Amino acid sequence: MPTLTLDLLNSLPAEEAAARLDGLYEHSPWIAEAALRERPFRGLAQFQHALARAVTQAPREAQLALIRAHPELAGKAMVARTLTAESTNEQGKAGLTACTPEEFDRIQQLNADYNSRFGFPFILAVRGPRGSGLGKQAIIETFARRLRNLPDFEFDEALRNIHRIAEIRLQDKFGIEPALGQAAWDGMETLARYTDAGYEALGQLTVTYLTEAHQACARHLAELMRETGFDEVHIDAVGNVVGRYLSEDAEAKTLLTGSHYDTVRNGGKYDGRLGIYVPLVWVRELRKQGRRLPFHIELVAFSEEEGQRYKATFLGSSALTGDFRADWLEQHDAEGITLRQAMQSAGLDLSAIAGLRRQPDDYLGFVEVHIEQGPVLNELNLPLGIVTSINGSIRYVGRIEGMASHAGTTPMDRRRDAAAAAAELLLYVEQRAALDGDSVGTVGMLQVPNGSINVVPGLCHFSIDLRAPNDAQRDALSNDVLARLQEICARRGVAYTLEETMRASAAPSAPAWQVRWENAVDALGVPLHRMPSGAGHDAMKLHDILPQAMLFVRGENAGISHNPLESSTADDMQLAIEAFGGLVDTLARDMRKTA
């Protein structure tokens, strides 16, 4: 039975409020007591942050004692039935009380290994990111993976899991569930069933431009938008899925939102897709409540952002800004299929691409929700972050041509080794980017085509990805890298070609729209954290024609992304949906006031 409300939390005498929060943190009532000193709270998210801060500010011995107050997973306490009621419920829901003898032995071994490595018990929020329970298999895999973490990181990861456990226990006490967040979470789980040929057997998620799985995603999203209650839905000439939820006023302007549904190879389920499902779930709510707004909402699920199959990236959002370049159509994928052929065989009408360009006058602005793809929010125990700017970037693909020759007979000083030249460039990129402090540089592709163990590499293919928070810094970095490439090749007697495949300006958020996100996040009681985006996003393309601002959502597992471990909780998704709803509602109110 729920025993608490926000009003009670704020108004009960401190001792009584603390008593109602009993069991929130395992055998550690001091945490709730400390947080309660910061009453009143405007929302549960604010209270949770106060709880987390109480732990962060406690001495390390107190943190260690908190971790050690937890029982082992499926350990002696479970067998002897001496767990707290909360732990019994959680371990039961995860199926740990029904382990086979083999599973039980495996977990005991992991418990022993973990304890001897870290000196505290393994703690995992076994209710999982959705809150409905991880399976035994997922628990065992996570256990084995975290055993390899470094001790300091694992200490913090244990604390983060403790906060996650408290979050779910708190909801139980309040008798609430993140139903909207779970709807988004479930939606992305369903969408992740579509994966490119060859990756399904590996259990990996890969959706690259216009593959069968990609087209299935588009159809799925279009159908979903129709079911959700969007008034107009179509798949456009570059494969974007576009849904419009119409205003009460036919002449009204449009709020544009969305993100991409393609993925990197063996990627995560939330990169891009979260920014589709957050608005989608909110429009479902609007529809249910029969509410219309003084503006149209246009949700675009962008078809391509990741640049996996073809060299060009942002194919989806480029079409909206009028930057889809005709020469891209002649690019070919690894199988030699040109972009033109891929688009034609998907039934896309190339002659309609130019018409996809949006007229800025018809639009209010563009907002995008995206998983952070980094560790910042996770480390700060914050569910949401306000993006101040998207870093500018430049990408190149290149080749170095030397001379293939016998590895045994070519003396070291006569070689024209293409791979060694590329390696020297790679190390320079690493050093030069680090000099700036906030620039990054990566050589992510490096190949010796048809190389042999006994042949000096005659050819090397490589890529360069450079990013910085403003264009001047990005260009200085790029100039230095290109100068060094020239110098290396001249000195080594090898030739190079280099093709610039992307140049994106840094995209600072439009101040008025950034403030709208800030107000929406603040209204939820979530402390504001402003941060630049190191990753590129569709918003940086839309930036060319519309004011834009982004909202980041915390990623679990230290914020890892472009990796199957990418994760986000239904609770954080719930907050993102509420923030999106808050932004939309405030915008509607303001427009009605001035109308």
Annotate each residue in 221-260 with x if it binds Zn ion (CB under 5 A) or - if it does not, as one string: ----------------------------------------
Instruction: Work out how close the CB of 519 gets to Zn ion at its nearest, in angstroms, rounded to a whole number.
Output: 25
- Dihedral angle, C-alpha 343, 345, 347, 349, nearest 10 °: 40
Q: Which is closer to Zn ion, CB of 417 or CB of 538? A: 538
Cα gap 363→373, rounded to integer Å = 28
Q: Are 281 and 578 in contact (CB under 8 A)?
A: no
Q: Which is closer to Zn ion, CB of 127 or CB of 214? A: 214
Cα gap 121→76, rounded to integer Å = 12
Instruction: Work out how close the CB of 403 gets to Zn ion at its nearest, in angstroms, rounded to a whole number.
Output: 41
Find the part of the chain contacting Zn ion (CB under 5 A) among 133-141, 176-184, 268-276, 552-560: 268-276
Q: Which is closer to Zn ion, CB of 189 or CB of 362? A: 189
Contacts of 577 (CB under 8 A, 6+ apart): 180, 181, 184, 278, 281, 282
Instruction: Work out how close the CB of 306 gets to Zn ion at its nearest, in angstroms, rounded to a whole number.
Output: 7
- Residue-wise over 448-468: b if at least 16 C-beta within 10 A, else e? beeeeeeebbbbbbbbbbbbb
Instruction: Work out how close the CB of 450 gets to Zn ion at its nearest, in angstroms, rounded to a whole number.
Output: 34
Find the part of the chain contacting Zn ion (CB under 5 A) among 101-109, 183-191, 265-273, 587-595: 265-273
Instruction: Work out how close the CB of 46 gets to Zn ion at its nearest, in angstroms, rounded to a whole number.
Output: 29
Instruction: Work out how close the CB of 30 gets to Zn ion at its nearest, in angstroms, rounded to a whole number.
Output: 41
Q: Which is closer to Zn ion, CB of 172 or CB of 306? A: 306
Find the part of the chain contacting Zn ion (CB under 5 A) among 99-107, 211-219, 269-277, 331-339: 269-277
Instruction: Work out how close the CB of 438 gets to Zn ion at its nearest, in angstroms, rounded to a whole number.
Output: 20
Instruction: Work out how close the CB of 263 gets to Zn ion at its nearest, in angstroms, rounded to a whole number.
Output: 9
Collapsed DSSP state (helix, strand, coil) of residue 81: coil
Cα gap 274→279, rounded to integer Å = 9
Find the part of the chain contacting Zn ion (CB under 5 A) among 73-81, 138-146, 270-278, 432-440: 270-278
Q: Give the count of beta carbons closer than 10 Å to the beta carbon of residue 227.
A: 10
Q: Which is closer to Zn ion, CB of 182 or CB of 533? A: 533
Token digits of residue 18 = 């603390």
Q: Are 578 and 565 in contact (CB under 8 A)?
A: no
Q: Which is closer to Zn ion, CB of 307 or CB of 398? A: 307
Pinpoint the alpha helices (H) of 289-417: 315-321, 339-345, 376-380
Q: Which is closer to Zn ion, CB of 131 or CB of 272? A: 272
Residue 299 burial (10 A CB sphere; 0-12, 13-18, 19+): buried
Annotate each residue in 498-517 with x if it binds Zn ion (CB under 5 A) or - if it does not, as one string: --------------------
**The dihedral of CA 351, 353, 354, 355: what is its sign?**
positive
Q: Which is closer to Zn ion, CB of 378 or CB of 561? A: 561
Contacts of 205 (CB under 8 A, 6+ apart): 192, 195, 199, 263, 266, 267, 268, 269, 564
Q: For strands 254-260 and 363-371, give the pairing.
A: parallel
List strand residue ranges (DSSP E) for 437-568, in order.
440-442, 446-447, 455-456, 459-468, 495-504, 507-508, 530-533, 548-553
Q: Which is closer to Zn ion, CB of 381 or CB of 561? A: 561
Q: Which is closer to Zn ion, CB of 272 or CB of 441? A: 272
Instruction: Work out how close the CB of 183 gets to Zn ion at its nearest, in angstroms, rounded to a whole number.
Output: 21
Instruction: Work out how close the CB of 305 gets to Zn ion at its nearest, in angstroms, rounded to a whole number.
Output: 6
Among 154, 196, 236, 271, binds Zn ion (CB under 5 A): 271
Instruction: Work out how close the CB of 271 gets to Zn ion at its nearest, in angstroms, rounded to a whole number.
Output: 4
Cα gap 266→496, rounded to integer Å = 31
Q: Give the count of beta carbons closer than 10 Å to the beta carbon of residue 96.
A: 21
Instruction: Work out how close the CB of 374 gets to Zn ion at its nearest, in angstroms, rounded to a whole number.
Output: 12
**Amino acid (one-letter) located at 303:** S
DSSP 2: -
Q: Which is closer to Zn ion, CB of 238 or CB of 456? A: 238
Find the part of the chain contacting Zn ion (CB under 5 A) among 51-59, 267-275, 448-456, 475-483: 267-275
Cα gap 369→259, rounded to integer Å = 7
Query: Which 272-331 residues touch Zn ion, going by CB under 5 A?
Result: 272
What is 523-534 written as a DSSP string?
A: HTTPPP-EEEES
CB-nearest residue to Zn ion: 272
Cα gap 348→214, rounded to integer Å = 13
Q: Which is closer to Zn ion, CB of 448 or CB of 553? A: 553
Instruction: Work out how close the CB of 275 gets to Zn ion at its nearest, in angstroms, rounded to a whole number.
Output: 8
Find the part of the chain contacting Zn ion (CB under 5 A) among 4-12, 123-131, 218-226, 264-272: 264-272
Q: Which is closer to Zn ion, CB of 236 or CB of 368? A: 368
How many residues bind Zn ion, per CB under 5 A?
Answer: 2
Annotate each residue in 480-499 with x if it binds Zn ion (CB under 5 A) or - if it does not, as one string: --------------------
**The dihedral of CA 283, 287, 291, 292: what is its sign?**
positive
Is residue 566 involved in binding Zn ion (CB under 5 A)?
Answer: no
Q: Which is closer to Zn ion, CB of 131 or CB of 275? A: 275
Task: For Cα atoms 332, 337, 343, give the angle at the middle one, nearest 5 degrees.
Answer: 95
Instruction: Work out how close the CB of 537 gets to Zn ion at its nearest, in angstroms, rounded to a whole number.
Output: 6
Collapsed DSSP state (helix, strand, coil) of residue 34: helix
Residue with tokens 């003898």: 101
Task: Give residues in contact with Zn ion (CB under 5 A).
Answer: 271-272
